[in-house]
């Protein structure tokens, strides 16, 4: 039984203190499960291979660009950006759709191999808690892959829906390549179980390019919010804030100007000169070359806001925030600012006192403006409107925050008139998956 482990740039998971300790390793493409994990070095390399899946442009860039185009926070600068995302009329045969699906499941499959093969390694080969920590990281990354697949391709907002995605909880081979799509509840069950494992046994936070206990808690807070468990989401986001593993950067600009050393980054893609030069890193073509540019929604909400200058170039609408060339264009999967917004939203939606719900929002906006801020909202509805706008200002282009907030707050048809049906809230499952996976089942509605 074989599998492919394609690693462009591998992050060393040994206890190194600086990002410059990143190692670039290119193991053989076909590694036998019988010899890939015989010792601690093999186990670490296998988990490194899971992280390496983030270097696929359909993971590190398309999870920024596609939802922003669907929302209108980004726009099409050149024909290099597919017009279907602008019009919200996406075809099941679109190559970008198939490649995103494949990227999510490639991450899940690499995580499955790590869980299986590291788990089979004798405990004597790994000191202390390292074996459990490596496996827990793979569980966290598998949860992330399934959650991204679910929120882009499944009706994540309906816990009773049969339109989930395929649950891949074991390495894929010819014996199990055909699987039915799971229900939304079944997919969430795997996600939450995996995140609980990562919270229990994952490593303490060391650097934002590793999936730590903090990252697991933060991602679980996001998952609970999307599930509509607002009180639970607020409580867990508050826990992440209070544990002080991470802290807000003094200014919004410093969040990005300090890169991997930012005090508020929780999970991001590791990048360096090698990944920036790789042909798979397309950000420089898409953002630097103005293929995708700032859209009307982000420009309108950021007008007069100090975050504008960090987010995009007002002269030519060039995307800046997620094209940070100083740090070789990293990808921001989770940062602490989102926890403040989740806490505020969760409290507002779960009936907490208004002043309590305002507090985390006021903290974050005060940081953005550089001066103490008091929300003018007179009720929960007004506060939710304000939170939505702050999500766009603070988190636009970051891991789909703008798109999924527009759906969650019921704003999408208001801000993007080309969205006229609930069927457009999710992408079509790639035609190749529906046709080739004989057990898959039905395509998403109206596709």
H-only helix segments in 294-379: 296-302, 308-311, 336-349, 354-369
The model's pLDDT over 37-46, given as tens digits with 9 standing for 90+, comes to 889 999 999 9
Q: What is the pLDDT of residue 16?
A: 34
* CB-based contacts of 14-19 (< 8 A; 24+ apart in sequence): 14/44, 15/206, 19/207, 19/209, 19/260, 19/270, 19/272
Residue 359: predicted pLDDT: 98
Distance of alpha carbon 100 from alpha carbon 111, whole angstroms: 17
Q: State how far the Cα of 165 lies from the Cα of 151, in Å rounded to an integer.
A: 9
pTM > 0.85: yes
Residue ranges in the chain modelled with pLDDT below 50: 1-32
pLDDT of residue 25: 35
- Distance from C-alpha of 55 to C-alpha of 52, rounded to nearest angstrom: 6
The pLDDT score that the predictor gives to residue 279 is 52
- Structural domains of the chain in order of their starting residue, each with its CATH number: 2-75+90-417 (1.25.40.390)
Closest CA to 349 of 214, 259, 180, 231: 231
> pLDDT at position 119, please?
96
What pLDDT is attached to residue 239? 98
């Amino acid at each position: 039984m074989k599998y492919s482990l394609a690693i462009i740039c591998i992050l060393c998971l040994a206890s190194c203190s600086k990002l410059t300790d990143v190692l670039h390793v290119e193991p053989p493409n076909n590694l036998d499960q019988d010899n890939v994990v015989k010792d601690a070095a093999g186990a670490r390399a296998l988990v490194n291979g899971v992280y390496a899946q983030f270097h696929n442009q359909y993971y590190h860039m398309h999870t920024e660009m596609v939802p922003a185009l669907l929302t209108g926070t980004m726009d099409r600068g050149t024909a290099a950006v597919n017009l279907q995302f602008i019009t919200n009329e996406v075809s099941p045969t679109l190559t970008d759709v198939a490649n995103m699906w494949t990227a999510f499941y490639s991450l899940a499959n690499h995580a499955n191999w790590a869980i299986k093969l590291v788990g089979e390694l004798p405990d004597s080969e790994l000191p202390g808690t390292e074996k459990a920590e490596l496996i827990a990281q793979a569980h966290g990354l598998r949860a992330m892959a399934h959650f991204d697949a679910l929120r882009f391709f499944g009706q994540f907002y309906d816990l009773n829906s049969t339109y989930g995605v395929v649950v891949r909880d074991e390495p894929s081979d010819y014996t199990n390549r055909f699987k039915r799509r799971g229900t939304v509840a079944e997919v969430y069950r795997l996600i939450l179980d995996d995140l609980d494992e990562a919270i229990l046994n994952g490593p303490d936070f060391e650097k934002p390019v590793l999936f730590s206990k903090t990252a697991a808690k933060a991602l679980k807070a996001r998952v609970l919010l999307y599930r509509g468990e607002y009180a639970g989401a607020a409580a867990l986001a508050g826990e992440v804030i209070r544990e002080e593993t991470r802290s807000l950067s003094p200014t919004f600009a410093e969040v990005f100007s300090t890169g991997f050393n930012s005090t508020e980054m929780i999970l991001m893609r590791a990048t360096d000169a090698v990944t920036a030069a790789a042909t798979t890193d397309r950000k420089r073509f898409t953002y630097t070359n103005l293929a995708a540019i700032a859209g009307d929604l982000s420009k309108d909400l950021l007008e007069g806001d100090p975050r504008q200058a960090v987010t995009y170039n007002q002269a030519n609408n060039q995307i800046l925030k997620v094209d940070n060339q100083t740090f070789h264009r990293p990808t921001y999967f989770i940062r602490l600012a989102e926890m403040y917004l989740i806490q505020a939203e969760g409290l507002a939606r779960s009936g907490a006192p208004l002043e309590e719900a305002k507090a985390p929002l006021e903290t974050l906006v005060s940081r953005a403006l550089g001066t103490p801020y008091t929300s003018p909202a007179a009720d929960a509805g007004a506060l939710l409107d304000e939170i939505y706008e702050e999500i766009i200002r603070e988190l636009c282009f970051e891991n789909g925050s703008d798109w999924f907030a527009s759906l969650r707050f019921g704003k999408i048809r208001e801000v993007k008139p080309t969205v006229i049906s609930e069927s457009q809230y999710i992408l079509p499952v790639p035609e190749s998956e529906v046709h080739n996976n004989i057990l898959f089942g039905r395509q998403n509605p109206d596709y």
